[in-house]
């Protein structure tokens, strides 16, 4: 046991002698009288009390939350629970600090057993001569005991206790450990405890990097921390520091030149704030209870400061429109390690800047659309070039609209995503299924979907759900990480799906993730990021085009209902950047959109990052033959096709539904059927035919679209070839009569599309004639609560009906 004691050789020799003496005592105790035995029992009892007198642990303080960047640069710290600046303990003592503190406090520290008799007798003599206490004669070991006992009132009995416990401390702890205990718990003025917190408070850097002058200053502070510190009695403090420096020179620790240079250094000003960067991140770490050690984060301090500077600039611009808050997160795509964490546009109480918006749940806007696009490609329900309906719709009382309130009739799926069109996205979600999509999002790491699919409905894809910038940005990184995994396996070995990280991932966590089945298919993700690469909305300034020529970024914006949230998220093989702009209190502002507010911040930040590359095409891409006009898989009636590379799921996508065989007269001027013309006199042609409602809008934008010829006079069209259909309401169901601002009932506007531009339509409600329309076929209706039937007929006798119910 004695061989394991971490004390000086002198103390270990003393213990060996004590053990031998105890053995001799046991051999003699049988011959002692009862008085001697009592005396020895008392002695042994006192000895045991002394031996077990040290508290366990010696110190049990609360520590400050201390967060550094990836290279050890301090980002910030928070007070410990007891209101002290006390940094977590370290493993060693810096050389300069060791020499200074021993020289000033206890020159014979390395030689005495915890108590220095010479110092004790000298202190007694000085105190008697002065008539009052001027010296305590305490060693560093005794001062450690005094600290762990809570700085009891000075008295002879307390001094005796400190001396006895100091001797006991030296039996258990090495000299280096005792010195470290002293420096970690000594007071350094005000509410600063420990040399490491003092170093940052007074000098703004670690004690490992202090100069001789700075180390000497900290060495003299614990001697009288309440009397002198850098904030007061500066001359007295300067004299004490310089005396110590000269003593170090006399003892040969430093040379004369070093001493003179150290003496010339000024004293620091008042203690500094321990918040240098990423204040919301430090708060987040503190809330997580990570305060028992220094937290080395993944943050890049230099990049963090650049991001904060950019956010401050854009805040000054946007605040003119009363847009006060902003959040940015920048991370590595490959690892998910966060490089910059800017939780808001400042850190004061004004304008709610203290709120960490990165972790706040906000309306997602259109930011979830790429995930639906990717999911449908993976499941064989969509191809990037596949035409999607873009027409006015109403589904179960829900009537979505595009942001620009315009319709194209039919749009390729990848263009609909790039332009962030709402109607195609809503129809895609209805086809894919809301519960199915919610499950997909949850497996990606979106944890904020706490309600049922019925609660969110189809608004889920347009911002009806809430999500945090942290999770959404992490999901974009996870999706892109799939491409890195399967296109560059040598450079990447982690699993695809995991959240962003603020600290390094433990190895066991990496092993667990590698065993999980991947969620994304790399070939589908390749098509998704290429669609996002083409984002180019009308009205965007030429700045974005200049930017896109310098580097490729897959990016998506989002705007919540009421202009309360503006999003922009971009990803490259190297970085993912997420931006949110708005007001933390939920106040909307006119003109606040992802394009106008969040995208400029996004591109500004990408411009400050190192050069980026583009994703490599993954292996396993299939060649798919698609219809040249519709983008669907080629059908039997498609006259032209093209081969594209894409993802080949287990189940093939649907063939083209729009190319149909139509029967025409020989001159192709009229459509016919067997009721009016024999088959031998017909010409059979493959024709690209959109439904009337899609055709109505599509032909306005497409110069190549050919309308179907009219039926030959005397030919009755089939029921399936009616030239008109309802645009609104699309389906039968319940309708609500809207009310104006003054509370008066307004009208429901019915709308019909007809293939013939010159057709005149006749409207009837419950067999009561309402009127006729030409060119633009809309009819306002204000009727009673109940079930009704709308009938619309054209001049050729074609007729369509719609049954609906008016409810309050």
Write out the catalytic residue numbers: 105, 366
422-432 vs 434-444: helix axis angle to the nearest 10?
A: 100
Strand segments, DSSP code E, in 549-602 are 554-559, 565-571, 575-582
Q: How far apart, in whole angstroms, are the C-alpha atoms of residue 376 and residue 646?
A: 13
Cα gap 661→638, rounded to integer Å:
10
DSSP 366: T
Tokens of 218: 């900290």
CB-based contact 323:596 (threshold 8 Å): no
CA distances from 287 to 78, 282, 299 (A): 11, 9, 18
E strand spans, 190-334: 192-193, 295-296, 325-332
Contact partners, residue 137, CB within 8 Å, separation at least 6: 116, 119, 120, 121, 122, 123, 124
In this structure, the chain runs to a length of 808
Residue in 745, 753, 746 with CA at minimum distance from that of residue 728: 753
Q: How far apart are CA 166 and CA 145, in angstroms?
A: 6
- Cα separation, 104 vs 251, whole angstroms: 12
* Sole residue written with tokens 């003699």: 28
Strands 799-807 and 786-794: antiparallel
3-class SS shares of the chain: helix, strand, coil, % to 5? 40, 20, 40
Q: How far is CA 460 from CA 379, 428, 430, 434, in A?
A: 20, 12, 11, 8
Enter the tokens of residue 288.
Answer: 């997580």
Greatest distance between any 2 Cα atoms in the chain: 141
Under 8 Å between Cβ of 333 and 575: yes
């Amino acid at each position: 046991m004695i061989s394991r004691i971490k004390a000086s050789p002198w103390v270990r020799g003393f213990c060996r002698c004590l053990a031998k003496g105890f053995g001799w005592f046991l051999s003699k105790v049988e011959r002692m009288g009862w008085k001697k035995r009592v005396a020895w029992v008392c002695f042994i009892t006192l000895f045991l009390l002394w031996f077990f007198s040290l508290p366990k642990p010696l110190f049990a303080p609360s520590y400050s939350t201390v967060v550094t960047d990836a290279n050890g640069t301090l980002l910030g710290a928070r007070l410990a629970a007891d209101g002290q600046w006390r940094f977590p303990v370290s493993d060693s003592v810096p050389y300069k600090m060791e020499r200074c503190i021993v020289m000033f406090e206890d020159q014979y520290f390395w030689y005495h057993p915890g108590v220095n008799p010479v110092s004790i007798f000298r202190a007694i003599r000085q105190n008697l001569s002065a008539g009052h206490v001027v010296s305590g004669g305490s060693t560093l070991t005794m001062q450690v005991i005094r600290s762990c006992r809570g700085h009891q009132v000075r008295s002879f009995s307390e001094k005796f206790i400190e001396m006895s416990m100091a001797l006991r401390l030296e039996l258990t702890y090495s000299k280096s450990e005792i010195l470290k205990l002293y420096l970690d718990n000594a007071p350094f003025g005000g509410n600063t405890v420990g040399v490491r917190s003092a170093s940052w408070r007074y000098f703004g850097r670690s004690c490992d990097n202090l100069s001789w002058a700075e180390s000497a200053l900290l060495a003299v502070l614990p001697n009288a921390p309440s009397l002198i510190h850098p904030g007061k009695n500066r001359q007295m403090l300067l004299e004490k520091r310089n005396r110590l420096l000269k003593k170090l020179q006399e003892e040969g620790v430093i040379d004369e030149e070093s001493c003179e240079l150290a003496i010339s250094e000024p004293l620091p000003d008042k203690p500094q704030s321990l918040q240098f960067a990423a204040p919301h991140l430090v708060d987040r770490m503190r809330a997580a209870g990570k305060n028992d050690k220094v937290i080395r984060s993944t943050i890049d301090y230099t990049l963090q400061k650049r991001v904060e500077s950019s956010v401050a600039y854009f805040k000054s611009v946007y605040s003119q429109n009363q847009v006060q808050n902003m959040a940015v997160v920048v991370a590595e795509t490959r690892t998910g390690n966060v490089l910059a964490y800017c939780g808001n546009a400042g850190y004061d109480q004004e304008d709610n800047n203290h709120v960490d918006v990165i972790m706040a749940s906000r309306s997602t806007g259109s930011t979830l659309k790429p995930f639906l696009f990717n999911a449908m490609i993976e499941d064989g329900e969509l191809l990037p070039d596949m035409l999607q309906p873009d027409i006015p719709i109403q589904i179960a009382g829900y009537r979505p609209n595009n942001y620009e309130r315009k319709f194209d009739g039919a749009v390729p799926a990848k263009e609909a995503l790039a332009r962030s069109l709402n109607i195609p996205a809503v129809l895609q979600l209805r086809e894919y299924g809301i519960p199915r999509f919610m499950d997909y999002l949850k497996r990606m790491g979106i944890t904020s979907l706490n309600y049922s699919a019925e609660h969110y409905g189809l608004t889920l894809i347009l911002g009806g759900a809430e999500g945090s910038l942290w999770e959404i940005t992490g999901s974009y990184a996870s999706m892109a990480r799939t491409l890195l995994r399967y296109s560059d396996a040598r450079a990447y070995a982690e699993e695809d799906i995991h959240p962003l990280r603020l600290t390094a991932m433990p190895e066991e966590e990496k092993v667990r993730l590698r065993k999980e089945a991947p969620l994304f298919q790399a070939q589908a993700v390749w098509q998704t990021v290429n669609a996002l690469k083409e984002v180019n909305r009308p009205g965007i300034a030429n700045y974005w085009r200049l930017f896109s020529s310098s580097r490729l970024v897959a990016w998506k914006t989002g705007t919540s209902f009421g202009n309360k949230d503006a999003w922009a998220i971009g990803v490259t093989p190297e970085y993912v950047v997420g931006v949110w702009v708005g007001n933390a209190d939920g106040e909307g502002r006119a003109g606040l959109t992802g394009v106008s507010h969040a995208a400029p911040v996004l591109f500004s930040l990408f411009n400050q990052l190192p050069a980026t590359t583009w994703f490599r095409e993954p292996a396993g891409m299939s060649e798919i033959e698609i219809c040249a006009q519709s983008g669907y898989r080629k059908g039997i009636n498609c006259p032209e096709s093209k081969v594209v590379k894409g993802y080949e799921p287990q189940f093939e996508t649907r063939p083209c539904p729009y190319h149909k065989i139509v029967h025409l007269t020989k001159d192709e001027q009229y459509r016919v059927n067997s009721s009016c013309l024999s088959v031998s006199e017909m010409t059979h042609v493959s024709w690209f035919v959109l439904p009337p409602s899609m055709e109505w809008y599509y032909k306005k934008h497409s110069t190549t679209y050919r309308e179907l010829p009219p039926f030959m006079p005397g030919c009755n069209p089939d029921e399936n070839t009616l030239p008109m259909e309802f645009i609104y309401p699309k389906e039968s169901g319940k309708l609500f009569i809207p009310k104006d601002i003054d509370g008066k009932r307004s009208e429901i506007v019915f709308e019909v599309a007809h293939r013939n531009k010159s057709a005149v339509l006749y409207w009837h409600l419950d067999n009561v004639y309402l009127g006729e329309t030409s060119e633009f076929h809309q009819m306002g209706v204000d009727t009673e609560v109940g079930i009704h039937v709308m009938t619309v007929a054209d001049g050729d006798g074609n007729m369509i009906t719609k049954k609906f119910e008016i409810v309050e």
